[in-house]
Structure 1
Amino acid sequence: MLRALRNLGRMVSIGRTLGRHGALPVDLFRDSAPFLAFILSLGNRNKAPGRPGQRLAAALQALGPSFIKLGQVLSIRADLVGEDVANDLAELRDRLPAFSGDAARAIIEAELERPITELYARFDDQAVAAASIAQVHFAETPDGRLVAVKVLRPGIEQAFQQDIDLLLWLADWAVRVQPKLKRLKPVAVVETFARTVALEMDLRMEAAAASELAGNFTGDATFGVPSIDWDRTAKRVMTQERIIGFSIDKVEEIRASGLQTDQLLAHAADAFFNQVFRDGFFHADMHPGNMFVTPQGRLVAVDFGIMGRIDRQTRLYLADMLIGFLNRDYDLVAKVHFDAGFVPASQDQELFKQAVRSIGEPLHGRPLSDISVGRLLAQLFAVTEKFQMETQPQLLLLQKSMLTAEGMGRVLNPHVNMWDLSRPLIERWMIENRGPEARIADLLSNVAGIARRLPTLVRDLERTANMLAEGGGLRLHPDSVAALAAVREREGRRWRRLGWAALLLAAVALGVALS
């Protein structure tokens, strides 16, 4: 009861802010709860400027840190808010007034348990960037290294926890009032948001993400990550190497320094492709403010609070999808969706193939340089909604990341498509992972797995039989023991035959591959 009263009070304040910006969700309830829609329409300021998505972004900005982060999460959920609103929310800038340098110093000293004068020879009180969760100060270590120090906002954990509790309460009620929203998993969306924010508010996790990404690009002269100063990093403080260079959207300054923007674009495309397909671990917020260019022409990413992961099988499904579209093989595209379980088996695969064709045919005959992979995925997700495709958060995050990366590419050169520049890399990856040799290697791997499990399966069967027969608790009749022994022997022979058959199949497959 107390929770409901507290949340209702907060809702009144939120409703007033949304109404002031003309952002109350009237359309969401127009069909299922017309009276509620009417009440909400009365609260909306109809003359608020901008498109619906822009008005919502302005309202979320006014509501503070939790809602700014929520807007960023919703910007990758076009299936939930619509593509136009999602695009407007993607422009939501995570910028807030900075808190004082004295507060930052106090947090650093409390977290690292040392006076700041021991930690840094110089610490700039003026923040160089301030966002909803943390802000960044420049500093210098006693051994002369230039660093950037990220510090969490005071009291930010408690503020987020209260708002997340409210959002969970609202998501639960939304499903009750509007049952068709259940497919979109609003409660799961909020829970995912809560986990994401919890990770962002532990700067050790961000430091670990930066370290992992740096390890994936060890030895790469074209793309890098700032090194982490682990001695000056804790839950609420992260210290990393300071990057000297240009923000990637400073095109004129980059050109004036003698660097080639097309070459930088090619490096950016390769780096993003390698993150997604080679490593399955990618920077999911690669907008121009998070990408710098050193005077030597090396790209360096910053801000690792939002990262994405895609397992190998999903990467292969995604590759098959793209191959299917480029080759007009809509049978393959449809089959991938059903095999992966993205679309329920109860749906009509032929009808789904027809829907996929409606996306792919307009691409036919167009050069790769004119195709936006991010836009292609957005259209695909919009179509699959009609076939009860369950939300795939990892693919939605990837789709939005692709759009952001493509937008960054257009900043460097609006006439060149980043995927066209990395075509050799794409083709090589496709051959290595989806060509005949790769498929045979997968087959051999599966066969080897069966062969490795055979002794264990037989041993477990024998152990179970012995345990049951030798007084470990359950006593069996001698006839039952004899029958079980016969079964054990028969099953052992069957598994051995399967093992030899698997090995024979492997040999045949290898022979075909080498012929």
Structure 2
Amino acid sequence: MNRYYRIWRITSMFISFFIKVWWYKKREERLGKRVMAPRWTALFQDMAHRFCETAVELGGLLIKAGQFFATRVDLLPSEITKELSQLQDAVPAASFDHVQKTIQKELGKPLEEVFLSFNKEPIAAASLGQVHQAVLPKGDKVAVKILRPKIDQIINADFAAIRITMIMAKFFTDLSKQLDLDAIYQEMHQTFSDELDYRLEIKNAERFRNNLAEFENIYIPRMYKSHSTSKVLTMEFIEGQKIDNYEFLKKHNIDREELGRRLIQSYLHQVVVDGFFHADPHQGNLYVKADGTLVFLDFGMVGEISNRTKENLRNLLFSVVERDSEKMVDAMANLGFLRPTANRNLVRKAMQFFLDNHTPEQMKEMEKTKNLGPIGADLREFIYDQPMQIPANLIFMGRAGITAFGVAFGLDSTMGAEVAGPYIKKLMEDKDGGLTNVVLQRVKDYGTTLITLPGLLSRTLKKADLGELYVKVGNLGDIQRAVLFQTRLANRLVLALLTSTATLCAVIFYTQDFYSEARGAALIAAFLGILLLWHSRKKPRDSSQPFHRNGPF
């Protein structure tokens, strides 16, 4: 497919989305939110459906992008994220001729010399590559992953189209006022570009093997570097079944509850202890051997958590336990949960309200009943109603966590939150600067404040005595809106008074047979009346609020 045609297909699709959303906003101003609510729902579903159809047809980055945005519940309406979550990373396989040519070019030998046998039919085909089963000359069974033809050109064209779309969004929509589009683009570019180099996947697999060595029944397949390049990856073939093949588990007497707990504990270990985690732990990347060994596959998409992020997550956890909304907002700001336009004071009040209405007793009850629906709905509405966002660097951790926990609950629906207990405790303990260091830091902060307080108080009182003390208000939003309202009200009162006066003059002139003057006064009254109606319709826009009840749209 021609590069420029591909870019046009993608950008024209998004342009049509922008136009439709703009038109629906205009209609909402006339018809009202209640009338437009079902129409918005239908529009979002239609947009998501068209995106999925286009992604399946074009392949490449669109499928990955759709899966990425399916996790952005803070940006997109639920109608869109629900449809995108069904987008499967499966496309028709590339020709075997391409596979042969790629192997010969990358490994320097014909396929027949590299492998003792090679299955022409792929066992899996995805948007970026496909996998074939083969046997090495020494008899080792392997799985060979090959990038799709011209995938570099396709991905570059898709990145160009997405970049153009984001530039248009900056100019023709208000998205850039609420979202850091450049950061989102950079995160996508970095993440998906890494998947095009299989040498990085080999390094990731080796790192996971070392990190998870303490788990006896978790296995990372062997990677064959001598038979791998940036476009060809040869790894050990796993004799087993997907983790959700419950008949296989039953046949081999594998304890589903223990397997689910092992999966969650290994994932928490990756996040809390290692700070390096598998970012795509769905059923297709989790296999189980006949002896019950859990196998992780596909290490192209990984995530990493810095020590600073872990520290802020720890502070956020402390603030929730202490039910301290001010510290919670500080931790959220450090993690990037607050948008640039956020009014931190309003967010703090909202967080305090949220904490007050979700008591520990309610949380325990939801944990017992496994019904997280109420708090999930509240969190979703809270994100939409407040100037908040999910940080791009934590998106994959959240997505991977939800995926892993979903797989685990499929294995054991009775699993409770206690499985995470040891790792939550580890997050809060002394290791890597845990509880002790946090307490010492707080004591240090309080001590510094006490030492500097007398001098600060003395300087403040001296300025007050000299009349040099000024008060700076950090956020004048509410005051400005109040002043603006009073100004608009005064203007409307003056216009109403002038309109009434002109009308009264017209009546007096007419009764006194001054018809020319009466017509002039009537015209003035009509003009002032139209001006009054126009001013009455204008509504000030609060730029600190989200665009729409369903998110930035």
TM-score by length of 1: 0.73
| Higher RCO structure, 1 or 2 (CA under 8 Å, sep 6+) | 2
Residue matched to 1:452 = none
Q: Quote the offset at 1:286 in angstroms.
A: 0.8
Structure 1 position 113 matched with structure 2 position 108: yes
Q: Which amino acid aligns with 2:156?
A: Q
Q: Quote the offset at 1:217 in angstroms.
A: 1.2
Residue matched to 2:281 = 286
Residue matched to 1:135 = 130
Residue matched to 1:362 = 358
Structure 1 position 153 matched with structure 2 position 148: yes
Residue matched to 2:423 = 425
Q: Which amino acid aligns with 2:145?
A: K
Residue matched to 1:165 = 160
Structure 1 stretch 404-413 or stretch 389-398: which is displaced more? 389-398
Instruction: Write the distance in 1 (CA, Å) between the matches of 2:374 and 2:193.
Output: 30
Q: Which amino acid aligns with 1:430?
A: M
- Contact 1:14/1:63, CA 8 A, preserved across alignment: no
Structure 1 position 256 matched with structure 2 position 251: yes
- Contact 1:343/1:384, CA 8 A, preserved across alignment: no
Residue matched to 1:322 = 317
Q: Quote the offset at 1:122 in angstroms.
A: 1.5
Instruction: Write the distance in 2 (CA, Å) between the matches of 1:226 and 1:50.
Output: 40
Residue matched to 2:528 = none
Instruction: Write the distance in 1 (CA, Å) between the matches of 2:72 and 2:282.
Output: 18
Instruction: Write the distance in 1 (CA, Å) between the matches of 2:256 and 2:115.
Output: 36
Residue matched to 1:332 = 327
Residue matched to 1:302 = 297
Residue matched to 2:451 = none
Deviation track 1:287-324 (CA, whole Å, cap 9, x = no partner) reads 11111112222211111121111111212222332343
Residue matched to 1:217 = 212
Instruction: Write the distance in 2 (CA, Å) between the matches of 1:107 and 1:334.
Output: 52
CA distance change for structure 1 residues 301 and 211 in 2, over 3 Å: closer, same or farther?
same
Equivalent residues in 2 for 1:376-387 (5 A)?
383=382
Q: Quote the offset at 1:10 in angstroms.
A: 4.8
Residue matched to 1:511 = none
Instruction: Write the distance in 2 (CA, Å) between the matches of 1:372 and 1:135.
Output: 39
Structure 1 stretch 329-338 or stretch 98-107: which is displaced more? 329-338
Structure 1 position 60 matched with structure 2 position 55: yes
Q: Quote the offset at 1:48 in angstroms.
A: 10
Q: Quote the offset at 1:91 in angstroms.
A: 2.3
Q: Quote the offset at 1:337 in angstroms.
A: 1.9
Q: Secondary structure at the match of 2:358?
A: helix
> How many residues of Structure 1 are paired with residues of Structure 2 in the alignment?
429
Q: Quote the offset at 1:125 in angstroms.
A: 1.0
CA distance change for structure 1 residues 388 and 290 in 2, over 3 Å: closer, same or farther?
same
Instruction: Write the distance in 1 (CA, Å) between the matches of 2:203 and 2:371.
Output: 32
Residue matched to 2:393 = 394
Structure 1 stretch 340-349 or stretch 393-402: which is displaced more? 340-349
Deviation track 1:147-194 (CA, whole Å, cap 9, x = no partner) reads 111000111111221221122111101110113434323344234323
Equivalent residues in 2 for 1:21-100 (5 A)?
24=17, 28-30=21-23, 53-100=48-95
Please tell me the root mean square deviation across aligned C-alpha atoms, in Å.
3.8
Q: Secondary structure at the match of 1:159?
A: helix
Instruction: Write the distance in 2 (CA, Å) between the matches of 1:249 and 1:348.
Output: 45
Q: Which amino acid aligns with 1:408?
A: V
Q: Secondary structure at the match of 2:93?
A: coil
Q: Quote the offset at 1:390 in angstroms.
A: 6.2
Q: Which amino acid aligns with 1:401?
A: A
Structure 1 position 269 matched with structure 2 position 269: no
CA distance change for structure 1 residues 26 and 364 in 2, over 3 Å: closer, same or farther?
farther
Deviation track 1:230-289 (CA, whole Å, cap 9, x = no partner) reads 111101001111111120111232122101111011101111101111111111111111
- Contact 1:137/1:150, CA 8 A, preserved across alignment: yes
Q: Secondary structure at the match of 2:429?
A: helix
- Contact 1:369/1:416, CA 8 A, preserved across alignment: no
Structure 1 stretch 186-195 or stretch 150-159: which is displaced more? 186-195
CA distance change for structure 1 residues 79 and 240 in 2, over 3 Å: closer, same or farther?
same
Q: Quote the offset at 1:62 in angstroms.
A: 2.7
Which structure has the larger Rg?
A: 2
Q: Secondary structure at the match of 1:300?
A: strand
Instruction: Write the distance in 2 (CA, Å) between the matches of 1:162 and 1:345.
Output: 31
CA distance change for structure 1 residues 6 and 177 in 2, over 3 Å: closer, same or farther?
farther
Q: Quote the offset at 1:81 in angstroms.
A: 1.9
Instruction: Write the distance in 2 (CA, Å) between the matches of 1:373 and 1:62.
Output: 37
Instruction: Write the distance in 2 (CA, Å) between the matches of 1:48 and 1:28.
Output: 8
Q: Quote the offset at 1:25 in angstroms.
A: 5.3
Q: Quote the offset at 1:33 in angstroms.
A: 7.4
Q: Which amino acid aligns with 1:322?
A: L
Q: Which amino acid aligns with 1:421?
A: V
CA distance change for structure 1 residues 187 and 274 in 2, over 3 Å: closer, same or farther?
same
Residue matched to 1:408 = 407
Q: Which amino acid aligns with 2:130?
A: Q
- Contact 1:374/1:403, CA 8 A, preserved across alignment: no
Structure 1 stretch 167-176 or stretch 429-438: which is displaced more? 429-438
CA distance change for structure 1 residues 192 and 395 in 2, over 3 Å: closer, same or farther?
closer
Q: Secondary structure at the match of 2:144?
A: strand
Deviation track 1:425-448 (CA, whole Å, cap 9, x = no partner) reads 32243234575434368899xxxx
CA distance change for structure 1 residues 345 and 165 in 2, over 3 Å: closer, same or farther?
closer
CA distance change for structure 1 residues 439 and 195 in 2, over 3 Å: closer, same or farther?
closer
Q: Secondary structure at the match of 1:277?
A: helix
- Contact 2:183/2:392, CA 8 A, preserved across alignment: no
Residue matched to 2:472 = none
Residue matched to 2:483 = none
Deviation track 1:86-133 (CA, whole Å, cap 9, x = no partner) reads 243222101011112232122111101123233221111110000011
Deviation track 1:59-79 (CA, whole Å, cap 9, x = no partner) reads 422332221121122122222
Q: Secondary structure at the match of 2:75?
A: helix
Deviation track 1:465-511 (CA, whole Å, cap 9, x = no partner) reads xxxxxxxxxxxxxxxxxxxxxxxxxxxxxxxxxxxxxxxxxxxxxxx
Instruction: Write the distance in 1 (CA, Å) between the matches of 2:375 and 2:279.
Output: 18
- Contact 1:292/1:300, CA 8 A, preserved across alignment: yes
Instruction: Write the distance in 2 (CA, Å) between the matches of 1:240 and 1:372.
Output: 41
Q: Which amino acid aligns with 1:166?
A: A
Gaps of 5+ in 2: 29-38, 444-553
Q: Secondary structure at the match of 1:147?
A: strand
Identity of aligned pairs, percent? 26
- Contact 2:44/2:77, CA 8 A, preserved across alignment: no
CA distance change for structure 1 residues 182 and 25 in 2, over 3 Å: closer, same or farther?
same
Q: Which amino acid aligns with 1:425?
A: Y
- Contact 1:172/1:187, CA 8 A, preserved across alignment: no
Gaps of 5+ in 1: 36-43, 445-515
